[in-house]
């Protein structure tokens, strides 16, 4: 072999190309196929030669060079990356029956006849963290965390160190552009070794392999990531050009050919019974697997069906997670304390003798509400079974009665707010006691502000819970609007500990940068009960501007008037939400608060995410039955094209789509002069809008996808 110092530039370039391919092939043989062809010594020699050539010709460093596997110099912070398509989360189920219902819903949505079966792909649900990998012309060019689903962090350098992630795709029929999604995880064995090492070095151990993987991936020094031996299973995709066709299973096979690792337990199931049998098998094998899994994910195999099913909120209708039962442990209740939430809800929390549940130390568990405490008869001093499932707050499952100490007394739920002393109220039909102190209650005020600045709301960098509490206590921020005049208190802030000139300047800049958020974020930030992100978005889409929203919500107080009727008609807004919204806007204090806020920080008008479509901003009503699609699919389609779907005809209706057997609605539409479309006209109207896929799958839109727990159970 020619000595490195004698290589010409051309020879060096050619050899680096050959080494990149050869080392990648050995990586695959070793890590994926488990049949290495050369000794570790020979493998290392290839790496050393590659490194030596690169050192002599640094400008010849290739994007797919194996030396990226060893990591790069530390950087300052991660850049933000907007995913080509949002990274979705999954609806959860715990019971087999819920999975059967899932399939029934899929069938109903698609209007499938009995002759058609729904093939499912069942995959282990890997307990790691998801990442998105972007390939252009076969080269790995960028890797990102999930972040809020729409925007993640650029962790390319760290991901490049994972041997399971090809730096260049292999095989043929490579897409021009490919976003591969999958899970980064740490094997249980590597986790044990890492923790033993950390303890020996006097560093705190990680709670579980998932945290260890997360901690190892979000390091600014990718050399450390490289030493952590993280792995990656590919199981989904985002933007792909040209778009894939066929089945999910075919796509996984393509992934394999391109060099990714697919979980070997993945199975194609011809029906729900096979899928559930797979779940049982996996549950039994779980403890023996070399990595943590927390359930099974079922995905409708046919991609054209996936496309038609689309998504709801931030989860696909074509997939569902079937979680394993939560992990449990026993411990003792030291005290029961009451927490006051932003809407005044009093939530009892059990303070526990710390106990490890599924690898995580738990010292608090929620007791939900008064009825739950009574139902389980939970008392201070009791030994209880606590459980945690995934990321959810630990819960008290039951009391171990034979361990109850003598003389224990029933817990009496307070009738007063423990923070401000105001009386608590419990409305008819509600399980929750609420503090009536409103914004006078410190807890409520602070919680509201915390919600206001949280990630899915105003998301002001550098203004987190801690700072909000600090400013509240100092009297600098009493309500949301005050945030935008915080600069007036510069001197006072600088006097308090922890703030320096630069950090204060950064904070003011960050506040300024978020002065005008989207209308949906703004509405969500107000913290109105039952108005979460999805509802806020629906409302923003319905009213379009802050002024119209405020006017509409205030006018809706008149339960007989048009404004109330219109609000009730917004598809997806339930009666509870309507009532709490109307209530919120009857409260003079609340109105003063939001008006002051909108004055100093007016939100942007709602922007339909999808540009011009024939249905954008139209109000549409469906009646009767259609041949080509079910009513549910038609509604979803209309919404994804920017339309508002209403339940009944009014003057505001733009179109009535009348399928077979349409009755009184068609007559009413005629009376009111509303345009009526038959099925063929409806299909013609939506044909050509987008490329046949629901647009909510094509365009990310401005919708803020939060990282809060995935929706529990599909709501469609
Ligand atoms: S599919 C479009 N498949 O679970 C659907 N997710 O609860 C996107 N996860 O954020 C997810 N194993 O981090 C999918 N085989 C699998 C998975 C999986 C683990 C994680 C993933 C996702 C979370 C949703």
DSSP letter assigned to residue 170: -
Nearest CA to ligand 1 atom 22: 89
Q: How confident is residue 715, by pLDDT bands cut at 50, 70 and 90?
A: very low
What separation in angstroms does the CA of 710 have from each of 147, 313, 391? 14, 10, 10
pLDDT at 663: 81
Residue identified by tokens 């079937």 is: 322
In angstroms, what is the C-alpha Rg of the chain?
A: 28
180 lines ligand 1 (CB under 6 A): no
pLDDT at 131: 97
266 lines ligand 1 (CB under 6 A): no
Q: Which class for 463: exposed (0-12), middle (13-18), buried (19 or more C-beta within 10 A)?
A: buried
Query: Do the Cβ atoms of 276 and 678 come closer than 8 Å?
Result: no
* Range scoring the smallest mean pLDDT among 100-109, 264-273, 691-700: 691-700
Q: How confident is residue 74, by pLDDT bands cut at 50, 70 and 90?
A: low
Q: Which residues contact 310 (CB under 8 A, 6 or more apart)?
A: 316, 317, 636, 637, 640, 693, 694, 696, 697
**Of ligand 1's atoms, which has the minimum distance to the CA of residue 146?**
10
Nearest one of 84, 52, 85, 86 to 67, comparing CA atoms? 52
Nearest one of 644, 640, 603, 586 to 457, comparing CA atoms? 603
**What is the distance between the alpha carbons of residues 411 and 88, in angstroms, rounded to a whole number?**
42
* Range scoring the smallest mean pLDDT among 39-43, 467-471, 504-508: 39-43
Give 130 Cα–ligand 1 centroid separation in angstroms: 7
What separation in angstroms does the CA of 494 have from each of 450, 453, 486, 501? 22, 21, 12, 7
Q: How confident is residue 697, by pLDDT bands cut at 50, 70 and 90?
A: very low
Pocket test for ligand 1, best of 89, 90, 260 (most atoms within 8 A of CB): 90
Give 314 Cα–ligand 1 centroid separation in angstroms: 12
Give 328 Cα–ligand 1 centroid separation in angstroms: 23
Q: Which token pair is 521?
A: 């974020």
Q: Which token pair is 668?
A: 């009413």
236 lines ligand 1 (CB under 6 A): yes
**What is the distance between the alpha carbons of residues 304 and 692, in angstroms, rounded to a whole number?**
10
Q: What angle do CA 468, 469, 475 make, to 5 degrees?
A: 90
Q: Which residues contact 554 (CB under 8 A, 6 or more apart)?
A: 585, 591
Averaged over 657-678, what is the pLDDT? 87
Q: Which residues contact 646 (CB under 8 A, 6 or more apart)?
A: 569, 570, 571, 619, 620, 621, 652, 653
Helix (H) or strand (E) holding 457: none
Give 592 Cα–ligand 1 centroid separation in angstroms: 43
What separation in angstroms does the CA of 8 have from each of 11, 14, 292? 5, 10, 49
Q: Cβ of 428: how many Cβ atoms within 10 Å?
A: 4
Averaged over 663-672, what is the pLDDT? 87
Q: Which token pair is 381?
A: 């001093």
**Of ligand 1's atoms, which has the minimum distance to the CA of residue 316?**
2
Q: How confident is residue 707, by pLDDT bands cut at 50, 70 and 90?
A: very low
459 lines ligand 1 (CB under 6 A): no
Averaged over 311-330, what is the pLDDT? 89
Residue 60 has pLDDT above 60, yes or no: yes
Q: How confident is residue 465, by pLDDT bands cut at 50, 70 and 90?
A: confident
Q: What percent of the chain has pLDDT over 90?
A: 57
306 lines ligand 1 (CB under 6 A): no
Query: Do the Cβ atoms of 678 and 624 come closer than 8 Å?
Result: no
Q: How confident is residue 249, by pLDDT bands cut at 50, 70 and 90?
A: very high
Q: Which residues contact 396 (CB under 8 A, 6 or more apart)?
A: 333, 350, 365, 366, 367, 376, 378, 384, 385, 386
**What is the distance between the alpha carbons of residues 707 and 89, in angstroms, rounded to a whole number?**
9
**What is the distance between the alpha carbons of residues 151 and 81, in angstroms, rounded to a whole number?**
5
**Of ligand 1's atoms, which has the minimum distance to the CA of residue 319?**
5
222 lines ligand 1 (CB under 6 A): no
Q: Which token pair is 183?
A: 């899970």
319 lines ligand 1 (CB under 6 A): yes
Q: Which residues contact 253 (CB under 8 A, 6 or more apart)?
A: none
Q: Which token pair is 429?
A: 């039909």
294 lines ligand 1 (CB under 6 A): no
Going by DSSP bridges, is the β-strand pair 177-185/231-241 parallel, antiparallel, or unpaired? antiparallel
122 lines ligand 1 (CB under 6 A): no
Q: For residue range 124-137, what is the model confidence (pLDDT) as tens digits?
A: 999 999 999 999 99
Q: 452 or 691: whose pLDDT is higher? A: 452
DSSP letter assigned to residue 31: I
Residue 634 has pLDDT above 50, yes or no: yes
Secondary structure of residue 178 in the 3-state scheme:
strand
Query: Do the Cβ atoms of 87 and 180 come closer than 8 Å?
Result: no
* Range scoring the smallest mean pLDDT among 10-24, 111-125, 338-352, 569-583: 569-583
pTM: predicted TM-score of the whole model, two decimal places:
0.63
Written in H, E and C, the secondary structure of 277-333 is HHHHHHHHHHHHCCCCEEEEEEEECEHHHHHHHCEECCEECCEEEEECCCEEEEEEE
Averaged over 583-612, what is the pLDDT? 86
Q: For residue range 219-228, what is the model confidence (pLDDT) as tens digits?
A: 888 999 999 9
Q: For residue range 375-407, what is the model confidence (pLDDT) as tens digits?
A: 899 999 999 999 875 555 788 989 999 999 999
* Range scoring the smallest mean pLDDT among 27-41, 82-96, 449-463: 27-41
Give 139 Cα–ligand 1 centroid separation in angstroms: 24
Q: Which residues contact 318 (CB under 8 A, 6 or more apart)?
A: 106, 299, 300, 305, 306, 309
Q: For residue range 505-538, what is the model confidence (pLDDT) as tens digits?
A: 999 999 999 999 999 999 999 999 888 888 898 8
Nearest one of 627, 700, 651, 689 to 111, comparing CA atoms? 627
Q: Which token pair is 431?
A: 């399980």
Cα 5 from chain centre: 52
Averaged over 574-588, what is the pLDDT? 88
Residue 429 has pLDDT above 50, yes or no: yes
Nearest CA to ligand 1 atom 21: 130
Q: 186 or 34: whose pLDDT is higher? A: 186
pLDDT at 27: 82
pLDDT at 73: 65
Give 344 Cα–ligand 1 centroid separation in angstroms: 34
Q: Which token pair is 510?
A: 């960050």
Residue 696 has pLDDT above 50, yes or no: no
315 lines ligand 1 (CB under 6 A): no
Pocket test for ligand 1, best of 232, 320, 321 (most atoms within 8 A of CB): 321
Most confidently modeled range among 149-153, 259-263, 438-442, 673-677? 259-263
pLDDT at 220: 87
Q: Which residues contact 62 (CB under 8 A, 6 or more apart)?
A: 16, 17, 20
Residues belonging to the active site: 125
Nearest one of 191, 182, 189, 181 to 215, comparing CA atoms? 191
pLDDT at 704: 23
Query: Do the Cβ atoms of 327 and 347 come closer than 8 Å?
Result: no
* Range scoring the smallest mean pLDDT among 101-105, 445-449, 612-616: 612-616
Instruction: Residue count of the chain, please give it.
Output: 716
Most distant pair of Cα atoms in the chain: their distance: 90
Give 149 Cα–ligand 1 centroid separation in angstroms: 12
Nearest CA to ligand 1 atom 10: 89
Which residues make beta-bridge pairs with 140? 135
Residue identified by tokens 């019971």 is: 95
Give 315 Cα–ligand 1 centroid separation in angstroms: 10
Secondary structure of residue 8 in the 3-state scheme:
coil
Nearest CA to ligand 1 atom 2: 88
121 lines ligand 1 (CB under 6 A): no
Q: Which class for 330: exposed (0-12), middle (13-18), buried (19 or more C-beta within 10 A)?
A: middle
Q: For residue range 165-180, what is the model confidence (pLDDT) as tens digits?
A: 999 999 989 999 999 9
Give 670 Cα–ligand 1 centroid separation in angstroms: 48
135 lines ligand 1 (CB under 6 A): no
92 lines ligand 1 (CB under 6 A): no
Written in H, E and C, the secondary structure of 510-574 is HHHHCCCCEHHHHHHHCCCCCCCHHHHHHHHHHHCCHHHHHHHHHHCCCCCCHHHHHHHHCCCCC
Query: Do the Cβ atoms of 546 and 522 come closer than 8 Å?
Result: yes
Give 391 Cα–ligand 1 centroid separation in angstroms: 14
pLDDT at 390: 52
What separation in angstroms does the CA of 383 have from each of 53, 353, 355, 688? 65, 10, 12, 63
Nearest CA to ligand 1 atom 11: 89
Cα 200 from chain centre: 36
Averaged over 150-160, what is the pLDDT? 93
Nearest CA to ligand 1 atom 16: 125
90 lines ligand 1 (CB under 6 A): yes
**Of ligand 1's atoms, which has the minimum distance to the CA of residue 123?**
15
Q: 543 or 40: whose pLDDT is higher? A: 543
Q: Rounded to 10 degrees, what is the CA torsion of 552, 556, 558, 563?
A: 60
What are the two backbone dihedrals, phi and then psi, of residue 33, each rounded to the nearest 5 degrees?
Answer: -90, -10
Q: How confident is residue 691, by pLDDT bands cut at 50, 70 and 90?
A: very low
Q: 615 or 333: whose pLDDT is higher? A: 333
**What is the distance between the alpha carbons of residues 337 and 72, in angstroms, rounded to a whole number?**
48
Q: How confident is residue 76, by pLDDT bands cut at 50, 70 and 90?
A: low
Helix (H) or strand (E) holding 581: helix 575-584
Average pLDDT value over all residues in the chain: 88
**Of ligand 1's atoms, which has the minimum distance to the CA of residue 89?**
24
Query: Do the Cβ atoms of 445 and 439 come closer than 8 Å?
Result: yes
Q: How confident is residue 703, by pLDDT bands cut at 50, 70 and 90?
A: very low
């Amino acid at each position: 072999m020619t000595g490195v110092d004698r290589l010409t530039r051309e020879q060096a370039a050619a050899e680096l190309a050959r080494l990149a391919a050869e080392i990648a092939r050995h990586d695959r043989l070793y890590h994926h196929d488990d049949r290495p062809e050369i000794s570790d010594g020979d493998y290392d020699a290839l790496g050393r030669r590659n490194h030596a050539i690169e050192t002599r010709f640094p400008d010849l460093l290739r994007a797919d060079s194996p030396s990226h596997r060893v990591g790069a110099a530390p950087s300052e912070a991660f850049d933000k990356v907007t995913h080509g398509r949002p990274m979705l989360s999954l609806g959860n189920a715990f019971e087999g029956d819920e999975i059967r219902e899932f399939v029934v819903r899929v069938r109903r949505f698609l209007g499938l006849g009995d002759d058609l079966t729904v093939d499912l792909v069942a995959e282990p649900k890997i307990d790691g963290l998801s990442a998105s990998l972007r390939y252009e012309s076969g080269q790995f060019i960028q890797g990102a965390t999930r972040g809020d689903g729409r925007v993640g962090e650029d962790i390319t350098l760290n991901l490049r160190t994972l041997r399971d992630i090809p730096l260049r795709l292999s095989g043929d029929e490579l897409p021009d552009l490919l976003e591969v999604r999958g899970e980064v995880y740490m094997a249980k064995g590597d986790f044990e070794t890492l923790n033993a090492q950390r303890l020996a070095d006097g560093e705190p151990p990680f709670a579980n392999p998932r945290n260890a993987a997360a901690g190892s991936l979000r390091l600014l020094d990718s050399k450390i990531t490289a030493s952590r031996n993280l792995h990656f299973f590919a199981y989904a995709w985002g933007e792909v050009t040209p778009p894939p066709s066929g089945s999910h299973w075919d796509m996984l096979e393509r992934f394999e050919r391109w060099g990714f690792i697919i979980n070997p337990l993945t199975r194609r199931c011809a029906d729900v019974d096979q899928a559930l049998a797979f779940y049982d098998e996996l549950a039994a094998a779980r403890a023996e697997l070399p990595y943590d899994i927390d359930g099974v994910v079922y995905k409708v195999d046919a991609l054209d069906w996936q496309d038609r099913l689309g998504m709801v909120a931030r989860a696909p209708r074509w997939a569902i997670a079937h979680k394993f039962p939560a992990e449990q442990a026993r411990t003792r209740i030291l005290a029961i304390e009451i927490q006051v939430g932003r809407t005044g809800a009093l939530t009892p929390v059990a303070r526990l003798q710390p106990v490890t549940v599924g690898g995580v130390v738990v010292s608090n568990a929620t007791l939900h509400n008064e009825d739950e405490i009574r139902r389980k008869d939970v008392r201070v001093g009791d030994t209880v079974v606590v459980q945690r499932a995934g990321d959810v707050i630990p819960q008290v499952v039951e009391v171990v009665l034979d361990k109850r100490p003598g003389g224990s007394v029933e817990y009496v739920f307070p009738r007063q707010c423990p923070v401000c002393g105001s009386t608590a109220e419990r409305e008819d039909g509600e399980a929750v006691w609420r503090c009536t102190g409103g914004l006078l209650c410190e807890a409520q005020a602070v919680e509201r502000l915390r919600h206001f600045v949280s990630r899915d709301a105003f998301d002001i960098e550098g203004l987190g819970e801690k700072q909000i509490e600090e400013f509240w206590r100092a009297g600098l921020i009493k309500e949301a609007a005050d945030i935008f005049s915080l600069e007036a208190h510069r001197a006072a802030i600088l006097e308090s500990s922890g703030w320096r000139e630069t950090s204060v300047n950064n904070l003011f800049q960050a506040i300024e940068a978020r002065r005008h958020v989207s209308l949906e974020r703004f509405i969500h930030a107000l913290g109105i009960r039952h108005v979460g992100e999805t509802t806020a978005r629906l409302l923003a889409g319905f009213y379009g501007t802050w002024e119209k929203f405020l006017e509409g919500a205030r006018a809706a107080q008149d339960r007989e008037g048009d404004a109330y009727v219109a609000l009730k008609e917004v598809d997806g807004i339930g009666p509870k939400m309507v009532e709490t919204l109307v209530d919120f806007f009857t409260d003079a204090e609340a109105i003063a608060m939001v008006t002051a806020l909108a004055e100093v920080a007016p939100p942007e008008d709602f922007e339909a995410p999808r540009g011009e479509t024939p249905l954008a901003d139209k109000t549409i009503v469906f009646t009767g039955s259609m041949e080509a699609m079910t009513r549910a699919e038609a509604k979803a389609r209309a919404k994804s094209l920017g339309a508002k779907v209403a339940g009944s005809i009014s003057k505001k209706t733009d179109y009535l789509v009348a399928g077979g057997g349409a009755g009184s609605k068609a007559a009413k539409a005629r009376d009111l002069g509303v345009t009526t479309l038959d099925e063929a006209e409806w299909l013609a109207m939506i044909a050509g809008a987008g490329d046949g896929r629901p647009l909510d799958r094509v365009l990310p839109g401005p919708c803020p996808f939060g990282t809060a727990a995935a929706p529990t159970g599909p709501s469609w």
